[in-house]
Amino acid sequence: MPSPTNTLTSIQGMAEGLDGRVIGPSDPDYDAARAVMAGGIDRRPAAIVRVASAADVARVIRVAREIGAELAVRCGGHSGAAHGTTDGGIVIDVRDLRQIDLDVAGRTVWAGSGLTAGELTAEVTSHGLVVGFGDTGSVGLGGITTGGGVGYLVRRDGLTIDNLIGAEIVTAEGEILEIDADRHPDLFWAIRGGGGNFGVATRFHYRLNELPAFYGGMLVLPATPETIAGFMAAAAAAPEELSTIANVMTAPPMPFLPEEWVGRIVVLGMIGYAGDAEAGERAVAPFRALAEPLADMVKDSPYSEMFPPEDPDYHPTAAAVNMHIDHVDRDVAATILDHLERSDASLAAAQLRQLGGAMARVPADATAYAHRSSPIMVNLAAFYEGEADRQAKEAWVRDFATAIDQGDPAVYVNFLADEGPERVRAAYPGATWERLVEVKRRYDPTNMFRLNQNVTP
Ligand SMILES: Cc1cc2nc3c(=O)[nH]c(=O)nc-3n(C[C@H](O)[C@H](O)[C@H](O)COP(=O)(O)OP(=O)(O)OC[C@H]3O[C@@H](n4cnc5c(N)ncnc54)[C@H](O)[C@@H]3O)c2cc1C
């Protein structure tokens, strides 16, 4: 790899031809531009290019190829493995690709890949339309869309990629392609779940779904084996308009939570019903009946309120494991509660996402996201402070995962940290992996795009 100074000089050499801007270590906004979400990350790219067009992306890729610089692609910066940054290489930062071309009558939108989930959601929901992303507004379209996208509409509308009908992408050769089911279908298949392995997406074309009314918010219950198992039973039995995320976790201080519950384990349930208040109330009644809620903020409200305001300076360090399970009965719930109660982490959590519905009806080979039949996605996490604590918390999440393992090897690529090639393979079972490798060989045989959950050519 060339020295950072040489890399910066090469990039600056083409700066006049760029529509966007090059940021180097001596620029006043360098530190802000290189920051990513994951805590404990302090990488120093030689250059960050805030691209303003697909042509910019193509130019930067060509320079990186010519000089042999490492290339990172960054959108919302939320990669758990901090793949959106590099030490000494070049970051293609797409955050200025923000154009929105909305076709309300046709119910589609072309969106710049640098937007966040929250930004595009605010725009389209003001027209009674929606495309589902995840549970966090600041996550970038670039990362969540290419990995899959599991959120509050997953059971009604499927994953984000199930609503992706096309994209503009810049390949490792610097070619700008429009891709969809007819044009470069192999590449279009691969970017729906295969992550950033195949090129830099500059625009996404989404189909929009109607959302004239929404009923949702947070329901906090005391955590007992019965409430945890009951929540998941209700989530599985609910109509597909209802999607949930049950965060069984140490309660943080929250203004609406009784003081004596702070630091104790609660079920912090996020509930979204895509419909009106009357039907929503009926669908949410089984959850409310589980126990006297500690807080109940589930109500008729704009969908965009599912993305609460965030602190951009929040960079926690967490050990985490993603996995899938079949069921959460009383025994599994008791095991979950037991592990959480024994943790000394400032925040320990088991996040349970009931899947199924529309996402499960998509054939496993239709996209590179193949885990269509796993009913429940689980994220286990514990915050840590410092290196010794990191090892302890990593051991804790591993033990926890073993204790609730039900034999499903599926992993969701977007919740992987830096966990090695075997875990990447677990995200892409059997034929999916073979097909991804084929597409990688065709479009990126030298592995230019390798700072990601890497499909090796
Ligand atoms: C707090 C938090 C909450 C989350 N909640 C959810 C959730 O509810 N549902 C869910 O599905 N996921 C969720 N995720 C995971 C999230 O989808 C992934 O971490 C995703 O990769 C982040 O995308 P980003 O653009 O913000 O990150 P970045 O770090 O900017 O990008 C991550 C990777 O995506 C690829 N990439 C980014 N932009 C492009 C592009 N334009 N073209 C091609 N490749 C690109 C690159 O390989 C890059 O390294 C969450 C993550 C966090 C930190």
Q: Using one digit for the tens of pLDDT, what is the confidence trace for 434-449? A: 999 999 999 999 999 9
**pLDDT (mean) for 57-74:** 96
Q: Tell how far the Cα of 73 is from the centroid of ligand 1, in angstroms.
A: 11
Please tell me the residue having the least CA distance from ligand 1 atom 1.
136
**Residue of the CA atom closest to atom 6 of ligand 1:** 134
Give the per-residue pLDDT at 16: 78
Q: Is 113 in the pocket of ligand 1 (CB under 6 A)?
A: yes
Q: What is the mean pLDDT of residues 384-409?
A: 96
Q: Which of 48, 74, 163, 270 to mutate to test the pocket of ligand 1 (most atoms within 8 A of CB)?
A: 74
Report, as an integer, the average pLDDT of 377-396: 96
The structure tokens listed for 33 are 């531009």
For residue 135, the CA-to-ligand 1 centroid distance in Å is 12
**What's the confidence (pLDDT) of residue 1?**
82
The residue to mutate among 414, 424, 440, 447, having the most atoms of ligand 1 within 8 angstroms of its beta carbon, is 414
Quote the pLDDT of residue 8. 87
Is 15 a residue whose pLDDT tops 80?
no
- From atom 21 of ligand 1, which residue's Cα is the shortest distance away? 143
CA-proximal residue: ligand 1, atom 33 (nearest): 143
The closest residue, in CA terms, to atom 9 on ligand 1 is: 134
- Model confidence at 259, in pLDDT bands (50, 70, 90)? very high
User: Looking at the predicted structure, is the pLDDT value of residue 385 above 90?
Assistant: yes
Pick from 72, 75, 381, 336: which is nearest to 224 by CA?
Answer: 336
Ligand 1 atom 2: residue of nearest CA: 136
Distance 294 CA to ligand 1 centre (A): 32
pLDDT computed for residue 154 by the predictor? 98
pLDDT per residue as tens digits for the range 308-346: 889 988 899 999 999 999 999 999 999 999 999 999 999
Read off the pLDDT band of 428 (50, 70, 90): very high
Is the shortest distance between the CB of 74 and ligand 1 below 6 Å? yes
Mutation to probe ligand 1, out of 36, 53, 61, 75 (largest number of atoms < 8 A from CB): 75
Give mean pLDDT, residues 119-126: 97
Share of the chain above pLDDT 70, in %: 100
pTM for the full predicted model: 0.97
How confident is the model at residue 11, as a pLDDT? 85
Residue nearest to atom 15 of ligand 1 (CA): 414
Per-residue pLDDT at 17: 87
Task: State whether the beta carbon of 95 lies less than 6 angstroms from ligand 1.
Answer: no
Q: How confident is the model at residue 13 (pLDDT cuts 50, 70, 90)?
A: confident
Nearest-CA residue for ligand 1 atom 8 is: 134
